[in-house]
């Protein structure tokens, strides 16, 4: 599988955002595609709603760029470990840097969904730290979100700031998965599990043991991996694990029912650090990890 060909539309997304090409970006999506950025902060499904998402979150920003550290892919899914670098209206000099897990899934040759895990509390804290100008920017954004995205989406975004999983509980879940022990996977009880590698993808329903067995054909021994990055948004957890001496890495995205129970899990193994970079002309560049 040529990942540049398979995920070409998803790989065009950062450049289109950076160029402020609203029409080009919205055109990437399937007619029934959706955006959740971040997860649990409202789902924007279909072209009119995705256009609204752009008008609320992307369009008003003076500049948005992406620093991609590593890509993980398999089947219809691409996960990017990235930092979103924003120049905001509140501070035209100091950038707001937001670590994120960005997941694209494909559907009938288009982008079926874009879902991101990042930490809204970090973002709100950054604005508050700017003082009055930051508070003003937050207030203006809140008014714009309520007016354009609606009360439900506005309240959903606010809900990511309260409740949800704490970092200790999220890390405990990741550690249980990293253990590679079938009993600990079964105890977490992920009902739906997707495991993938560069060349294949497998889906499991209520079979955590079989999902673990498949993952271990690529990633064993799991306990040797170390946690590189942990992101928590509401009841969703994103984690990246790497081997301290070998090139392999694992991306995890999960939704928790409660601190000891997982509703869904995606685990994608990457055999080596790579970033699928495209040039402005849309052709592969072969750029190693750490592109901007």
Q: What is the block-wise mean pLDDT of the chain (292 residues), using blocks of 10 residues?
A: 94 96 98 96 96 94 95 98 94 93 97 97 92 91 84 79 88 96 89 93 94 93 96 97 96 93 96 85 53 35
Q: How far apart are CA 259 and CA 265, in angstroms?
A: 14
Handedness of CA 11, 13, 18, 19 (dihedral sign): positive
- Neighbouring C-alpha atoms within 13 Å toward the C-beta of 131: 1
User: If DSSP codes are grouped into helix, strand and coil, which group holds residue 9?
Assistant: helix
Instruction: Report the CATH number of the 3-159 domain.
Output: 3.10.450.50
The answer to whether the pTM exceeds 0.85 is: yes
User: If DSSP codes are grouped into helix, strand and coil, which group holds residue 202?
Assistant: strand
Q: Indicate left, alpha or beta for 53 from its phi (over 0: left) and psi (-120 to 50: alpha).
A: alpha
For the chain, residues classed under CATH 3.10.450.50 are: 3-159, 167-270
Q: How far apart are CA 61 and CA 55, in angstroms?
A: 10
Instruction: Report the CATH number of the 167-270 domain.
Output: 3.10.450.50
């Amino acid at each position: 599988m040529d990942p540049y060909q398979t995920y070409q539309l998803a790989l065009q997304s950062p450049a289109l955002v950076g160029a402020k090409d609203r029409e080009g970006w919205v055109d990437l999506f399937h007619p029934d595609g959706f955006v959740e950025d971040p997860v649990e902060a409202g789902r924007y499904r279909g072209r009119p709603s995705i256009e609204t998402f752009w008008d609320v979150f992307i369009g008003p920003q003076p500049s948005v760029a992406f620093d991609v550290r590593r890509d993980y892919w398999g089947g219809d899914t691409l996960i990017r470990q990235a930092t979103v670098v924003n120049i905001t209206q509140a501070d035209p000099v100091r950038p707001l840097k937001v670590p994120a897990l960005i997941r694209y899934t494909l559907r009938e040759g288009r982008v079926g969904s874009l879902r991101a895990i990042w930490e809204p509390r970090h973002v709100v804290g950054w604005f508050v730290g700017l003082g009055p100008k930051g508070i003003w920017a937050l207030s203006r954004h809140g008014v714009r979100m309520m007016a354009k995205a609606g009360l439900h989406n506005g309240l959903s975004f606010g809900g990511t700031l309260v409740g949800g999983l704490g970092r200790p509980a999220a890390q405990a879940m990741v550690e249980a998965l990293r253990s590679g022990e079938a009993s600990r996977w079964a105890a977490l009880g992920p009902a739906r599990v997707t495991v993938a590698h560069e060349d294949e993808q497998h889906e499991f329903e209520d079979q955590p043991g079989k999902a673990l067995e498949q993952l271990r054909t690529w990633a064993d021994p799991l306990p040797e991996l170390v946690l590189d990055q942990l992101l928590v948004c509401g009841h969703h957890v994103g984690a990246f694990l790497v081997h301290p001496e070998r090139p392999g890495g694992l991306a995890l995205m999960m939704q928790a029912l409660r601190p000891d129970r997982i509703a869904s899990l995606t685990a994608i193994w990457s055999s080596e650090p790579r970033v699928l970079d495209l040039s402005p002309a849309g052709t592969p560049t072969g750029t190693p990890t750490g592109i901007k």
